[in-house]
Amino acid sequence: MFFNLPKQNDKGAKNGAPMFRLYIVDINDIDVENWPAAVDATITTDVLKAGKKWTYLDANVASINPNAKPGESPLNGVLTLTPFIEGLTPKALQWLYDNVGSDCIVVWERCSDHKRFIGGSPCSSGLKLSYTDIGSSEGGISGMALQFQGGECPEPFLFYEVATLEVEPDLP
């Protein structure tokens, strides 16, 4: 039940850090049979099934920290994304409870040069959504620390050069 989760308006969250958007889709909404082959570690065609759209969540940009570590096999890597969602509202908390355990494909953009990356290919069975903390973080900022973690895959993440990401409209 993914829906867009923009920056929260929780007055208890006082972090002035910039926000960053992650685009998410349930792995069942991608075209697994026609997953494009990467050329120069880059995917240039849309991975979604016809009629499907991305949803997004806004995270503290410093918290995304994409990290691909070697798996049990030295030929594979395991991708982990750790976004922090600033603000703790009923809508945000329900979003988490509705989606925890979901397998996702995630696209994120590097702030410095606006390059996009994609993680959670069918090879890794997607990135499983979980949380590591709900409430106040180390700096006393209210929010949710999430984790998206994939299985072992020879290409844990790739560049994603698709001009436009079709996004679900925001709910009122």
Top pLDDT among 56 and 172 is at 56
Contact call for residues 106 and 148 (beta carbons, < 8 A): yes
Residues 91 and 89: their CA atoms lie apart, in Å, by 5
Give the model's pLDDT for residue 142: 83
Beta strands in 12-141 (DSSP E): 19-26, 42-43, 55-60, 67-70, 77-81, 84-86, 103-109, 116-119, 127-136
Give the model's pLDDT for residue 70: 81
The least confident of 62-66, 120-124, 133-137 is 62-66
Give the model's pLDDT for residue 6: 63
The mean predicted confidence, pLDDT, of the chain is 84
Residues 3 and 93: their CA atoms lie apart, in Å, by 13
Residues 124 and 105: their CA atoms lie apart, in Å, by 10
Tens of pLDDT, residue by residue over 34-52, are 999 999 999 999 999 999 9
Give the model's pLDDT for residue 123: 84
Phi then psi dihedrals of residue 94, to 5 deg: -65, -40
Contact call for residues 75 and 152 (beta carbons, < 8 A): no
Residues 149 and 126: their CA atoms lie apart, in Å, by 8
Tens of pLDDT, residue by residue over 45-101, are 999 999 999 998 888 777 777 778 887 887 888 999 999 888 888 888 898 999 999
Helix (H) / strand (E) element for 95: namely helix 90-99
Give the model's pLDDT for residue 128: 96
Nearest C-alpha neighbor of 78 from the set 27, 120, 19: 120
Give pTM, 2 decimals: 0.84
Give the model's pLDDT for residue 107: 94
What does the pLDDT average to over 13-33?
77
pLDDT at residue 117 above 80? yes
Give the model's pLDDT for residue 2: 61
Q: Work out whether strand 157-160 and strand 42-43 pair parallel, antiparallel, or are unpaired.
A: parallel
Domain residues of the chain, as ranges?
A: 19-160
Give the model's pLDDT for residue 9: 54
